[in-house]
Amino acid sequence: MSISPGLQATPEARELSVIFNRADRIFRRIVTAGALTSLILLGLIGTFLFVRSAQIFNDRGLKFITGSNWTAGSGDGVIPDDFSIGPMLTGTLLVSLIALVLSMPLAIGGALFVEFYATPGLKKVLTTLLDLAAAIPSLIFGLWGVVFFSSYGERWSDLLNSRFGWLPLMKVQNEVFGRSPFVAGCVLASLITPIITSVSREVFSRTPRDLVDTCYALGSTRWGAIKTVVLPFGKSGVIGGAMLGLGRALGETVAVYLLLNIVFRYNFRILESEGGNIASLIALKFGEATEYELKALVAAGFVLFLLTLVVNIVAASIVERSTRHR
């Protein structure tokens, strides 16, 4: 077949293939095995919790989640067992959301300062301190919160009540502010802020430098470049860091146990000195629980497990959607 002088034959499509050497294959198998091991362990934990708590859900049904009573029976049937976690589930969400609302502005502002405003020497020091603060055990934060926030948190709560007491969230029946969901939320905010700040700073540092320099070349200020380029680019990472901090706040035990009076009553007032969360309930009741009550505590742990899993799934979908629309 002849080809005209002005036309060229279309080259045949070539099939590209990747050839892995022995080291690549070994590394790939190790990484795959690690990922599968994590999934298997997660599945085993969920299965164990479900099997051990199946009797509670069979006996109590949905009332176990919506009810507001925790009574260990007498054993002879005179006083029946009555277990439910409604107030503790509400307290878990309330305290965690307070912590997230308080920590997000601090975390984003701190990450931007470390990455774009701090000098190189100060940036190195602050980055190291952030990584260290993220690894401090929650017991330390709980003890520090008892000493520090028991006084300062009470003053802040009194101020909020005096200024915004007309709001339903700020109303109190008894003006005792030392052990409230707000104070516990402040301690949890100090606990999760280093984690969110560290993740946000790492994401902001990966902003393409040419985009930032382009903003500067067009006459933009540093804040203008941050608002136009850095924040939109790092939005998905900030959301991921926030959900990581929220996951830790949902399962926090010691800090809430030391700072909240566990009362089995629905409480949506953040300044009222009563509340609790699921993790602190388990820590409080586990040592002296009966066999049936142990199953109820395992069922409470299963609900917390599902709640954390749902939060992570929602966070992953939000991050994926934000990355896709970037």
For residue 82, the 8-state DSSP code is E
Q: What integer is the mean pLDDT of 176-197?
A: 84
Domains along the sequence of the chain with CATH:
82-324 (1.10.3720.10)
pLDDT surpassing 70 at residue 7: no
Angle at 300 between CA 295 and CA 304, to 5 degrees: 145
Read off the pLDDT of each residue in 167-195 and give the average, rounded to a whole number.
81
Arithmetic mean of pLDDT, 187-196? 87
* Confidence at 44, pLDDT banded by 50, 70, 90: very high
| pLDDT over 60 at 105, yes or no | yes
b (16+ CB within 10 A) / e for 169-187: bbebeeeebebbbbbbbbb
**Per-residue model confidence (pLDDT) at position 275:** 78
pLDDT-above-90 percentage for the chain: 6
Residue 5 has pLDDT above 60, yes or no: no
Higher pLDDT: 93 or 258? It is 93
pLDDT digits (tens, 9 = 90+) for 147-159: 777 777 778 887 8
Averaged confidence pLDDT in the chain: 82
Least confident of 1-15, 72-86, 139-153: 1-15
Backbone angles phi, psi at 71, to 5 degrees: -130, 120
pLDDT at 192: 87
pLDDT at 40: 92
Mean pLDDT throughout 17-46? Answer: 86
Question: Which DSSP string corresponds to 15-35?
Answer: PP-----HHHHHHHHHHHHHH
Smallest CA-to-CA distance from 201 within 135, 138, 129, 141 is with 129
Q: What is the DSSP string of 176-238?
A: --SSSHHHHHHHHHHHHHHHHHHHHHHHHHTS-HHHHHHHHHTT--HHHHIIIIIHHHHHHHH
Q: How far is CA 200 from CA 21, 49, 92, 193, 224, in A?
A: 36, 34, 25, 10, 18
Residue 37 pLDDT: 92
pTM over 0.75? The answer is yes
Single out the residue of 241, 312, 260 nearest to residue 95, CA to CA.
260
Q: Per mean pLDDT, which range of 5-9, 88-92, 267-271, 279-283 is the poorest? A: 5-9
Winning range, highest mean pLDDT, from 11-20, 160-169, 224-233, 260-269: 224-233
Give Cβ neighbours of residue 274 (< 8 Å, ≥ 6 apart): 180, 260, 261, 263, 265, 267
86-112 vs 278-285: helix crossing angle, rounded to 10: 120
> What DSSP element (H or E) covers 83?
strand 82-83
Tokens of 288: 């002296």
